Amino acid sequence: MNSNDHKQTVLAEILALAPVVPVVIIDDVAHAVPMARALVAGGIRSIEVTLRTPAALDAIRAIASEVEGAVVGVGTVLDGTQLEAARAAGARFAVSPGVSPKLLDAADASALPLLPGVATAGEAMTLLERGYRHLKLFPAAPAGGAKLLAAWASPLPQIRFCPTGGISLASAPDFLALPNVACVGGSWLTPKDKLQAGDWAGIEQLAREAAALRAPR
């Protein structure tokens, strides 16, 4: 088993933890630990913290060291420097909105499993050639949604997807019913108003609703 085979196996295990991976934007690092504890209490263990704010790396570090049961990952990774910084902070997986040759080279050299974003069949085929069997469809809803993934299931049976972008609690089941969908990514579990208000009980309830969505295994 080569390095990427092993990383793909690890990624598959992470994506199988729950039907939804929350996509989180953290403005205040003080929110990171109670938010993650609320998600885990609600049945959501894998958490993607996006590199969209200055607090992101510190939030990853705090969750990784303080929240039992959480598997924290990093999102919005654009280059190898960010990939390495996230790995050093304790991230267990990485997610990118798309791919570039330099990012893929950095991912090959990193111990961190990467879930790269694609929006076309050609991009998916290119990544399949490089050993990627788990991909993120992004932005899922604008790119074609569940109908697009259903169309890809037959010609690209080796690939399983985590569609992200424009998905809600109401639309998630349409994706999760597909045989080539491992889970979905969604920002609705950690809305900005609940984070700012410290409404951890509310976030736990949103997590419970998401965890009740069962993806095919």
Can 204 be counted among the known catalytic residues?
Answer: no
Contact indicator for 150, 144 with CB cutoff of 8 Å: no
Measured distance CA(44)–CA(69) in Å, rounded: 9
Residue 204 lies in a domain: yes
- The answer as to whether 53 is a domain residue is yes
Compute the radius of gyration of the chain from its Cα atoms. Answer: 16
Inter-helix orientation angle 101-109/80-89, to 10°:
30
DSSP state of 216: P
pLDDT at 1 over 70: no
On average, the pLDDT of the chain sits at: 96
- Full domain range(s) for residue 21: 3-211
Q: What is the pLDDT of residue 215?
A: 45
CATH number, domain containing residue 8: 3.20.20.70
Domain total in the chain: 1
Structural domain contains residue 192: yes
How many angstroms separate the Cα of 35 from the Cα of each of 11, 16, 206? 23, 21, 12
Is the four-CA dihedral 151, 161, 140, 41 of positive or negative sign? positive
Classify residue 216: in a domain, yes or no: no
The backbone torsions φ and ψ at residue 94, rounded to the nearest 5 degrees and listed phi first, read -130, 150
136 is catalytic: yes
Question: Considering the domain boundaries, does residue 95 fall inside one?
Answer: yes
Task: Confirm whether 161 is domain-assigned.
Answer: yes
Active-site residue identified among 7, 48, 194, 204: 48
Q: Is residue 103 part of a domain?
A: yes
Catalytic residue among 13, 84, 123, 136: 136
- Total-model pTM: 0.95
